[in-house]
Amino acid sequence: MIIQMTDLARDALHRANIAVSAAALTAVRPIYRNIGTRPDHLGTVTFVEVDGVDYILTAAHVVDHHEAHTLYIGHRRLQDITLTFRMTAAPDGVRSNDRWDFAFAKADSIWREHGIIPLDISQLPALDDAMILTAVGYPNSANRKIDHQFRRIRPTQRRYASLRLPSDHPIYAALPIAHNTHVAISRDSRYAMSDGKRVSTFEPRGMSGGVFFGMPNVQRAAVVVFGGEPTIFPAGLIIEKNDQHRALFGPALSVIADQIRAQSIR
């Protein structure tokens, strides 16, 4: 039997995405706000660890809703958030102009007791130009069903894998953001499933606060040809899509870790 290289590459990516799903399932959760007396899906939060301390991390524009609404994290049941977040400043009060757009708060130990395993972002590898990344979060379109009577949820994660946009891509100058401080991937209207079938790309609204996972060796012969284990790591925070350049982007988690250290709330 002859196995095509495309099939081997697809299998390597599939194995890497299985590892991504396992890591994301216990660290990346949906967040809701109250509409009247009922929760409504808003976005995504990610539990991270920096130098042995746990934090809840999300996009600042998600936390902006905290001023007018009660926020809930979806983990088994809806859990009210009663935390004080530190967040990036909105330029001239306009959050859409904030290219950093992140917020964090120290997480109580009870989250680990409930099965949360934060992503350790204390020491992260460098991001390569041609690296494949997978964006993980909870899009609104897949997370509308809530058992309001018992405050139960059945959240649905979605993933989207693509290449990191190179340093000469026009999105960096247009926004502007820096290639060494941000993560950006292309977002096409259609993408290939693990079986090779091409399907329409889902709308990412609601994935803000999710994670870009880097896959540094998924294209190497040791993994593709010889079946080696793919490695993954949390690389960036999803904050926004850009329609003009057909991209998803956000700040690198290594930069966020440095900012958490500088604004320590321990």
Concatenated DSSP letters of 49-76: EETTEEEEEEEHHHHGGGGTS-EEEEES
Q: How far apart are the first and last CA of the chain?
A: 58
Q: Is the peptide bond between 170 and the residue preceding it cis, with omega within 30 degrees of 0?
A: no
Question: Amino acid identity, residue 114?
Answer: H
Closest C-alpha to 123, from 216, 235, 264, 28: 235
Please tell me the distance from the alpha carbon of residue 143 to that of residue 254, in angstroms, as a whole number: 29
pLDDT value at residue 26: 94
Highest mean pLDDT among 35-49, 50-64, 65-79, 186-200: 50-64
Region 164-173 average pLDDT = 94
Q: Average per-residue pLDDT in the chain? A: 86
For 187-204, what is each residue's pLDDT tens digit?
Answer: 876 655 555 555 567 788
Confidence of residue 4 (pLDDT cuts 50, 70, 90): low
Question: Which domains does the chain show, CATH number per domain?
Answer: 5-262 (2.40.10.120)
Question: Who wins on pLDDT, 92 or 3?
Answer: 92
